[in-house]
Every structure is written in C-alpha cells, then in structure tokens.
C-alpha cells in the first residue's frame, strides 16, 4: 500500500473543479467570509497550495473552452465532515 496525500494528488492532476460553484465560490482568502472572486467561466483549475480545508487555485488555460484570463483564488476542498467539495480530474 502506498499513501498519497490530498495536496500531492490534486497538484499532480490535470485539473480540479467545484462540484457546486454557487455553494463553493472562489474566494480572495482561505476564509468563508472573504470577498468572492468574480469568475463565471468553466472550472479548470490548477492547485498551487493548501491551508487546512482550503486550496489555492489558478485558472488553467489549457482547457479548450477556458476563458483566456488570469484568475486565482481559494476554494474549500472538503467540508466539516471530510466530504469532497471539488472534483479531481487526474488526466485530460
């Protein structure tokens, strides 16, 4: 058996997306009360960092219909029960 941590798994994936963008908006800081980042495009994020239940993400422009813009922020990746709030896409 080989152990892989969540951060490494998400960093090595092709992309990460939210399961529910309305319930889990992109935030300026890793805090549920932080200002929301204005983003209405298709989720195709690369994970840069993790702080507790939050991941810092940047928009990946390698997705075919991703907008050509620079977007970054924080997403909650798991809830208080440990259930995933994001989808992890291991490959394209």
pLDDT (tens digit per residue) in 82-91: 999 999 998 8
Three-state DSSP at 11 gives helix
Each residue's pLDDT tens digit, 59-76: 877 775 655 667 899 999
The pLDDT of residue 39 is: 87
Break the chain into its structural domains and give their ranges. Answer: 6-89
Beta strands in 6-44 (DSSP E): 15-18
The pLDDT of residue 67 is: 57
Tell me 34's DSSP state.
Answer: S
- Name the pLDDT band for 54 (thresholds 50, 70, 90): very high
Each residue's pLDDT tens digit, 13-41: 999 999 999 999 999 999 999 999 998 88
């Amino acid at each position: 058996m080989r152990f892989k941590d969540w951060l490494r798994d998400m960093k090595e994936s092709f992309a990460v997306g939210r399961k529910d963008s309305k319930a889990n908006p992109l935030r300026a800081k890793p805090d549920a009360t932080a200002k929301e980042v204005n983003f209405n495009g298709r989720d195709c994020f690369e994970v840069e960092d993790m702080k507790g239940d939050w991941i810092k993400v940047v928009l990946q422009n390698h997705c075919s219909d991703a907008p050509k813009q620079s977007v970054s922020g924080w997403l909650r990746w798991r809830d208080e029960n440990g259930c995933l709030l994001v989808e992890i896409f291991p490959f394209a």
